[in-house]
Amino acid sequence: MSSSSSSNRQSNSQRTVGIPTRCWCGANLTTYGAQTKENKFRRFYRCVVALQRKNEQHLFKWIDEAIIDEIDKVDGKCTRLYADLEDVKRSIDKRLDLQDRYIQDLTATLSDFRTSSGVNPNNDMMEASDELRPTNTQSALLNIAGAAIALLTMTWVYSKLSN
Ligand SMILES: [Zn+2]
């Protein structure tokens, strides 16, 4: 292998990030073992066309370099995904806080209204069951909000992963 062809191959491998699936010519890739003295049995990706037409430009990539490349690529993707998830988590916390405050305001307004309008019946049993209601409504609302947020998050994570 001459030094010019080796530098050519180097630049070729840098143009394709990660593990290649197809050659630039569109052909499927096969793996071969190198026969040169410095890379004896080192495996690389190449298409069949490249073996027949030596003068054309076709993808060449060492398998070991491709795997390291791919790990770096996935690693970068994971880091971005993690940062995005943290963002989603922060915004969900913020929204839940807002909803919590909103529900507290509503509950306070409701009890103010009851006190001022004298709706409060003298019956102790009625009063007890009335007091339970806002809490039930609150937890039901929170459950629905939580389920909706979880669903949205899952959809979002799925769409990110399938990219
Ligand atoms: Zn090719």
Strand 61-62 relative to strand 43-47, pairing: antiparallel
CA distance 80 to 83: 5
pLDDT at 152: 85
Q: Are 31 and 63 in contact (CB under 8 A)?
A: yes
What are the residues facing 43 on neighbouring strands?
A: 33
Distance 21 CA to ligand 1 centre (A): 11
Question: Residue 92 in contact with residue 149, Cβ under 8 Å?
Answer: yes
Distance (Å, whole) CA 50 – CA 30: 11
N residues, the chain: 163
In the reported structure, the alpha carbon of residue 22 is separated from the centroid of ligand 1 by a whole-number distance in angstroms of 8
Ligand 1 mean position to 67 CA, how many Å?
A: 20
Q: Are 14 and 69 in contact (CB under 8 A)?
A: no
Element (H, E) at 62: strand 61-62
The structure tokens listed for 89 are 């988590």
- pLDDT tens-place values along the chain, 163 residues long: 444 444 445 455 446 889 999 999 999 999 999 999 999 999 999 999 998 998 899 999 999 999 999 999 999 999 999 999 999 999 999 999 999 999 999 999 999 999 988 765 555 555 555 555 556 667 777 888 888 888 888 888 888 777 6
- 0.75 cut: is pTM over it? no
Distance 68 CA to ligand 1 centre (A): 22
User: How many Å lie between the centroid of ligand 1 and the Cα of residue 31?
Assistant: 13
H or E element in which residue 47 lies: strand 43-47
CA 73 to ligand 1 center in whole angstroms: 23
Q: How far is the CA of 61 from the centre of ligand 1 (A)?
A: 12
What's the gap in Å between 108 CA and the centre of ligand 1?
72
Structure tokens at 55: 């003068």
11 alpha carbon – ligand 1 mean position (Å): 16
